[in-house]
Amino acid sequence: MSGSARPRNASLTLRLCAVLATGALLVSSVVTRVGAEAARERQIAELHGRQESLCAALGVRAASLLERSDALRLTVLASSAADLAGARILILDREGVVQVDTGQAELGHLLPLATSDGLASRPLGTDRFEVLAPSLGSDGFAGEVRVRYSTAGVPPAGFPWSLFGLVFLCSATLVTLAGWMAHSWMQRLRSIAAQARQIARGELPGSGSRGFEAGAVAEVRDALFELSRVGVESARVARDGYLRLAREVVHALELRGHVPVGHPERVRRHAEALAEAVGIDVGVRQTIAEAALVLDLGKAGVRPSAFKRDGRIGELELASLREHPVRGASLLGALPELADVAVAVRHHRERWDGSGNPDGLRGERIPVASRVLAIASTYDELLTGDGQRPSLSWPAALDAMREQCGAIFDPRLVQAFEESVRADPPRQRVAAVVTVPLAAAVGRGSLAERDAAGLEDELEAADSPLEVLWDDEPKRED
């Protein structure tokens, strides 16, 4: 199928050259034919000129013979001229009587004289003509000479292949030049079209051969570069502004106790260290850093009752908390430039064994940015702890995470993270924060805030430190 589509999709340059070559062939044929006809017309015109010259010369030579009535010499003169010119010669005296007729048809006939005004020429038929010249002697008008001839002897216009070849060679040269110019222009237009497509994808095109362009192409290229710069700058400003707004929302959640204070920044540091340790691409590392700061953005849409301080969480609150990654991804995905960040946020609660939320992705199908964020977020939550779950030391936190390799976390990333932490262990412990027993909702305020308010936790500690993240069932009061 691809082979049959190739002729239809031939380049514009080839199609233009084919059209020009066909036109050159037609033009060469027409020009050659017209040239051949013009050559025949020139031959006929030359024939007319020779016959007129012959007729005028005969008039001069025949004048003295007519005055002497020398019929014999007139006949010899006319016969010689007729043989030389391939024409019929008539000689008339001053009364119009035909004295000599090489064709013998009108000898002795009286014909009206028609040369009172000098040399004359007239057609006698389609290809027959007659030239008339006065014969002027010493005594004045002595008679008239007529030369009748036919142009049928001029060969018809053939097809001069030599002329055709010359014309076609010139046309082919022009076609080659036009094809080269068209190819050059098409290359430039393709370059401009490629840059326009880059702009449509939100990319800034390179400026490789700008200095080579001139005229209108250069103006179009410069306009595209200006448009691309403006578009990319506008997209960057919109992206940065949207991210700042999202971080402000997360900060507001920290102030309200819905997100542990300092948690986003600590997650960012842990995630960046892990991404660097495993050699993740710079672009993905930037996505990880940005997603870490807005990882809990979706909690802005969680039911307020899920964060109530009496420790009671119902089914609706539980479902609302579990959906916060999807809400956050939806908010971030509203801006196309943040699509990569939205994907990282959406899948950071997936599990390596495929039993996580929201899409049940498994293993390598989980985006690497989400896997890194899951490890960094869990590590910080284990270090901070809450009033019911005491904070763990960093070795204990690493041990707890290692136990969940292959179930919750990517084993390779956990190993790399552990090596990174052991190579540069934390210098100090972070302040404790309060969390709820649910994967999607981490923390309801620091321990100091809860003590100052005189509140007591009614939640029972989970059996495993990781229950703070993946507790599927809310604790109920007996």
Distance (Å) of CA 422 to CA 323, 417, 476: 34, 9, 39
**pLDDT tens digits, residue range 145-174?**
999 999 887 776 666 777 777 777 888 788
Token pair of 475 as six digits:
């604790």
pLDDT at residue number 9: 45
| Least confident range of 159-163, 246-250, 382-386, 410-414 | 159-163
Mean pLDDT of 81-100: 90
- The dihedral over CA atoms of 48, 51, 52, 56, expressed in degrees to the nearest 10, equals 180
Distance (Å) of CA 43 to CA 129, 146, 154, 164, 465: 15, 21, 7, 20, 114
Looking at domain 258-470, its CATH class is mainly alpha
- Of 75-89, 431-445, 449-463, the range with the highest mean pLDDT is 75-89
| pLDDT, greater one: 304 or 431 | 304
Could you check whether the bond before residue 358 is cis, i.e. omega within 30 degrees of 0?
A: yes
The rounded distance, in Å, linking the Cα atoms of 366 and 344 is 9
Token pair of 260 as six digits:
């542990």
Length of the chain: 478
Q: Are 179 and 20 in contact (CB under 8 A)?
A: yes
Label the pairing between strands 120-123 and 98-101. unpaired
**pLDDT tens digits, residue range 31-71?**
777 777 888 888 889 889 998 999 999 988 998 888 888 88
Q: Torsions phi, psi of 334, nearest 5? A: -60, -25
Beta bridge partners of 90: 101, 146
User: CA-based angle 468:471:475, to the nearest 5?
Assistant: 95
pLDDT at residue number 279: 93
Inform me whether the pLDDT recorded for 185 exceeds 90.
Answer: no
Inform me whether the pLDDT recorded for 4 exceeds 70.
Answer: no
pLDDT at residue number 343: 94
Inform me whether the pLDDT recorded for 455 exceeds 60.
Answer: no
- Name the segment(s) of the chain with CATH classification 3.30.450.20: 11-150
pLDDT at residue number 302: 78
Q: Torsions phi, psi of 248, nearest 5? A: -65, -40
* Helix, strand, coil content of the chain in percent (nearest 5): 60, 10, 30
- Name the segment(s) of the chain with CATH classification 1.10.3210.10: 258-470
The rounded distance, in Å, linking the Cα atoms of 84 and 75 is 14
- The dihedral over CA atoms of 13, 14, 20, 23, expressed in degrees to the nearest 10, equals -150
Cβ neighbours, 10 Å, residue 7: 9
Helices (H), 122-208: 161-200
> Which residues, including other chains, have CB under 8 Å from residue 465's CB and lie 6 or more apart?
382, 389, 392, 396, 397, 400
Instruction: Give the confidence band of 108 by pLDDT, cuts at 50, 70, 90.
Output: confident
pTM: 0.50
Inform me whether the pLDDT recorded for 230 exceeds 70.
Answer: no
- Which CATH topology does 11-150 take? Beta-Lactamase (3.30.450)
Instruction: Give the confidence band of 266 by pLDDT, cuts at 50, 70, 90.
Output: very high
